[in-house]
Structure 1
Amino acid sequence: MSFPPFFAGLPFRGRQAGKKLQWLLSCDEIRHLLADVYVAVDTPDTPELRSAAAALVLPEGAIASGQLAAWIHGIPTTALRTDDKVSIHWTSEAADTVRVAGLTVVSPTATGVELALTLPRPFALSAVDALLRSGRVERADLEVLLDDYAGHRGIPQARQIFKYADSRAESPGESWLRLRLLDAGFGRPELQMRIKGPDRDYRVDVAYPDPVDNRRLGLEYDSDRWHSRDRQQTRDEKRRTDLAGLGWHIIPVHRPDLWGSYPALELAVGAFLCRWPRLPRRW
């Protein structure tokens, strides 16, 4: 079966497929990129592909900015659902830009500042964490560039986000968990804590290593994607039993624990650390 040219690794608008669009989607021949833009399912997801897709929906001469720039640079901005839609943000003027596959895009550093200024706090932190983890931006560069946004109402939030940001966070969930702990007044935890066992080493996502009654506290974010199957849950339980034998109390944290309305997480951590959490929750 021969496909039209727009299937040759290039993004295309839905109207180019005509009446076959829904059929192609149902057959898993194409996947959605953004707005009304699609691509063949076997096309590698690269910044160049995303840039080409953005070029199809932006006005002539527009500069991709905000969440659209973050998407092109590969910075997650929500990560709550797999069907999150990318917002089409653009500007006509920007001082700090780069070229990606012929499209002018706000630079990763300036994008990090924009996200810290405008996104809700948990998403702002996870986005900046991911940006630092990518190695393309340094915290000091973000803080310096922030001075160019004097007068923006999001300045206090951005300064706090840059203070809290940490390149060691390996997922948005870990970033949100850390923010909950910081907001509750428990202090900055250690990340990716390595624990030596008799037969193997372990690593805990978030840890408070100072002992309380000869036990230490660790928290692990168990994502729905990697920890929902019975076999995975059995493995997690064995691992936590092993860590308990090494003097660690591990609290598993799931997405509802972070986004629910009741402060069960703060109360559980506070009970172990013998500290009353700062409440009410901020988000």
Structure 2
Amino acid sequence: MGLGGVPIALPFLAGEALDQGLLTFRELRRFHAAVYPGVWVARGVELSAVDRARAAWLWSGRTAVIAGLSASAVHGANWVEPETAVELVHGNRRPPRSIIVRGDRLLDVEVQFVGDLPVTTPARTAFDLGRRSDLRSAVPRIDALMHATSLTPDEVAELAARHPGVRGLRNLRVALTHVDAGAESPYESLTRLLLVRNGFPRPQTQVRVYDAAGLVVARLDLGWPQWRVGVDFDGAQHWTDPAQRTRDIERYARLAELGWSDIRLTSGMLHNNPQRFLDRVGAALVAHGCPKTW
């Protein structure tokens, strides 16, 4: 146990803790568990993606740079699952399980510190995510990173220009044409991508709807204000929270009163019957005067 008799909750190097007298070998084995070779944490602690990134960095002897989705999590992006394999730029080519080591060449301007953790900058992180993932994976991941930081697509494109010939640049360029920092969930990103790739006009994100007095009566996930058509993704809370359901019903009525059509979408429809959703959106847009392009 650590000083004060409390198990050490954050990842730590066992050798350092023992040398510094923070715990005994018996306390280490009894109250802690190994995360990676030499890196331990208190038993029962659920590590976040950032905690795992720190643990992997400690495994490297504090010499690696955290990259990829792990860097995205350190920068504050949501939707990085704790069990996601940690990505490091490091020279050790024999990492333990659940650590991915990359031999990338990083320029000095592509690395920064977040606290004491060395990570790839948001632009470099997006560069790596975009070139190593397919479009359906890259767009939500870059959206989340942009939402958490001040990153812009132009910054990523400028960085890419410094790395001509790197594998995956075509994937990255295509992804950058689709990203939007306004997306607040992966499903919103995927919905926007589905619409655009099926020929629909690109929707705005987080559309505010105002009443005659100029008050905001609704904020839609996606929409076309010029045609008063919106799209909302219904997560679980819309069905399990009675108060949320009441607010949704009231909002839906107000939108109709203001001449808006709001198309609702669930994860089941997105995955199992996207054409039905596209047909509903298309019909609403045509009914509101949008020229058909899909």
Bin the TM-score by the shorter chain.
Answer: 0.7 to 0.9
Match of 1:87 in 2: 85
| Displacement of 1:66 | 1.4
Match of 1:66 in 2: 68
Q: Is the 8 A contact 1:113 1:142 kept in 2?
A: yes
Match of 1:254 in 2: 266
1:205 match: secondary structure: strand
Q: Is the 8 A contact 1:98 1:104 kept in 2?
A: yes
Question: Is 1:11 the equivalent of 2:11?
Answer: yes
1: distance between equivalents of 2:277 and 2:155? 34
Q: CA RMSD in A?
A: 3.2
TM-score, length-scaled by structure 2: 0.72
Question: Is 1:230 the equivalent of 2:246?
Answer: no
> Per-residue CA shift, 1:87-132, capped at 9, x if unaligned?
1212234222113344432222100111111223233212222332
Q: 1:204 aligns with which of 217, 220, 227?
A: 220
Match of 1:44 in 2: none
| Displacement of 1:261 | 5.4
Match of 2:94 in 1: none
Q: Is the 8 A contact 1:173 1:223 kept in 2?
A: no
Question: Is 1:32 the equivalent of 2:32?
Answer: no
> Per-residue CA shift, 1:179-200, capped at 9, x if unaligned?
1111111021122222222564
Question: Is 1:138 the equivalent of 2:152?
Answer: yes
Q: Is the 8 A contact 1:133 1:167 kept in 2?
A: yes
Q: Is the 8 A contact 1:73 1:108 kept in 2?
A: yes
1: distance between equivalents of 2:161 and 2:152? 15
TM-score, length-scaled by structure 1: 0.74
Q: Is the 8 A contact 1:64 1:89 kept in 2?
A: yes
> Per-residue CA shift, 1:120-168, capped at 9, x if unaligned?
3233212222332334323221111112343344222211222222222
Q: Is the 8 A contact 1:192 1:205 kept in 2?
A: yes
2:183 match: secondary structure: coil
Tell me: CA distance 1:147–1:237, structure 2 relative to 1, closer, same or farther (3 Å): same
Q: Is the 8 A contact 1:267 1:276 kept in 2?
A: no
1:56 match: secondary structure: helix
Q: Is the 8 A contact 1:267 1:277 kept in 2?
A: no
Q: 1:180 aligns with which of 177, 191, 194?
A: 194
Q: Is the 8 A contact 1:191 1:207 kept in 2?
A: yes
> Per-residue CA shift, 1:199-233, capped at 9, x if unaligned?
6422222112333xxxx311012222465323312
Q: Is the 8 A contact 2:237 2:244 kept in 1?
A: no
Same amino acid, percent of matched pairs: 27
2: distance between equivalents of 1:13 and 1:259? 43
2: distance between equivalents of 1:101 and 1:51? 13
> What is the letter of the counterpart of residue 11 of structure 2?
P
For structure 1, which runs of at least 5 residues remain unmatched after alignment? Answer: 23-27, 35-46, 279-283
Q: Is the 8 A contact 2:191 2:270 kept in 1?
A: yes
Q: Is the 8 A contact 2:57 2:65 kept in 1?
A: no
Tell me: CA distance 1:258–1:17, structure 2 relative to 1, closer, same or farther (3 Å): farther
Deviates more, 1:190-199 or 1:140-149: 190-199
Matches within 5 A, 1:42-53: 52-53=54-55
1:195 match: secondary structure: strand
Question: Is 1:193 the equivalent of 2:178?
Answer: no
Number of aligned residue pairs: 250
> What is the letter of the counterpart of residue 89 of structure 1?
E
| Displacement of 1:277 | 8.2
For structure 2, which runs of at least 5 residues remain unmatched after alignment? Answer: 15-24, 34-42, 91-104
2:86 match: secondary structure: coil
| Displacement of 1:29 | 6.3
